[in-house]
Amino acid sequence: SLGRLVVKRSAAKRFKTNIAFRLMAEIDLVRLSFGGVATAPRPRLLLSHAVLATLKDRASEDLKTVPWITTQEAFIALLLLALPSFFNKGPKVSLLLWLDARRYLGEAGKRLVSGTAILTQDFHFHVEGKSLSQLAEEVHIKLEAFGKEDARKMFFIAQGQFEYDLDTPVGPPKAWRLKDADVKIMLNNQSKLPLVDLGSGPAEWVCSTSGPTLMVPHKDGTTV
């Protein structure tokens, strides 16, 4: 029947996708075993504490609708301002941001999440004619507008996808929503991770294969 044919095709597609991801993981392990960086170079940018503080101060100079902004919001505003002109693209910029589910779920997060959980949410901007402060304010407002109920819905949808093995697009959830943007940004901010201390003093930096664009802590600031 048509229903069985659809199920068979869906199962075959999932099988191919799972095999592809398994091979990708094995390739990553091989690269890491040979040093990783030599076979798969990954550009890095170190932003010192002083640079980040200056960026936040600059982005806070002309705030009109919000009393304060975070360093993350100032950094995102800088990307929104700089990348379209750098790549000679249009003013429509879309951002896919990795969010800490427990934080956005509030009290419900303690019951729904026993460990770490990540949600991805898309945000869309039209940056033409806007200043760094204006963009930082807009980022702040959009993040504040993403509330607990939004996070709960996203969390339950994600759980349903895993529980019922639903066929979903390859790639991060909601990445397809960036398709009409002139510039696409995908940002995973893990810069609040503690630098581990195993008894001989805290680590100096963090290395990770996570992505896509990753922010991690460094003893002198943040590595992007």
pLDDT in tens, 55-101: 999 999 999 999 999 999 999 999 999 999 999 999 999 999 988 77
**Cβ of 66: how many Cβ atoms within 10 Å?**
16
Residue 6 has pLDDT above 80, yes or no: no
Residue 75's pLDDT is: 96
Strands 92-100, 183-189: pairing is parallel
Q: pLDDT band at 10, cuts 50/70/90?
A: very low
Residue 208 has pLDDT above 60, yes or no: yes
Structure tokens at 58: 């600059």
* CA–CA gap between residue 174 and residue 120 (Å, rounded): 7
Residue 111's pLDDT is: 67
* CA–CA gap between residue 154 and residue 114 (Å, rounded): 17
pTM of the predicted protein model: 0.77
Compute CA distances 92 → 58, 121, 165, 174, whole Å.
Answer: 23, 17, 34, 17
Residue 175's pLDDT is: 86
Question: What are the residues whose beta carbons fall under 8 Å from the beta carbon of 138, sequence distance 6 or more?
Answer: 77, 125, 130
**Cβ of 106: how many Cβ atoms within 10 Å?**
13
Axis crossing angle, helix 132-145 with helix 49-60, rounded to the nearest 10: 90
Query: For every residue of 140-204, which 3-state class applies, written as one string?
Result: HHHHHHCCHHHHHHHHHHHHHHHHCCCCCCCCCCCHHHHCCCCEEEEEEECCCCCCCECCCCECC
The string over 22-58, giving b where at least 16 C-beta atoms fall within 10 Å of a residue's C-beta and e elsewhere, is: eeeeeeeeeeeeeebeeeeeeeeeebeeeebeebbeb
Residue 41 has pLDDT above 70, yes or no: no
